[in-house]
Amino acid sequence: MKEVSGSCISIYISYLHGVLKKSKMVEMVGFVCPTDIGAIGCGNPIERTRAIANRMRNAKRGQIFFLPYNCGAHWMLTVINPHEDIVYFMDPLKRRLATGEWKDIVNKVFQCNKAAQTVGIS
């Protein structure tokens, strides 16, 4: 079986965006491009944290974000509600994320956004 590419995931995101637009739900869901946050070829953890934090900085209340993440030959989905500080890690292989780079990146996103709110950056 061949691995699903980041381009394929991006096309699926585009399709989902169209479905949300037709249903007038596009304001409820945001997407983070997998080419900005993947473990391979997307920069160091600081750059990936910054990309996610910048995407969520102007989130509307109640808006959730889908972050498809490839940890290297395996896709996972992270769903974040930045206003409620809620994160769901979804992994079809049911791996545990007790530690690891991705969990650290997501935690730092919340720290960056809280710091930005404190100093009044929107």
Q: Which residue has the higher pLDDT, 1 or 98?
A: 1
Write out pLDDT tens, residues 12-57.
999 999 999 999 999 999 999 888 887 776 778 888 898 899 888 8
pLDDT digits (tens, 9 = 90+) for 102-119: 888 889 998 888 877 776
CA atoms within 13 A on the CB side of 121: 10
Is residue 63 scored above 80 in pLDDT? yes
- Which domains are present in the chain? 6-119 (3.40.395.10)
Output the CA–CA distances (angstroms, integers) from residue 47 to 25, 28, 53, 56, 100, in the order listed: 30, 26, 10, 14, 16
* Higher pLDDT, residue 58 or 73: 58
> pLDDT for 66-108, tens place per residue?
999 887 778 889 999 998 989 998 888 776 654 578 888 889 9
| pLDDT classification of 122: cutoffs 50, 70, 90 | low
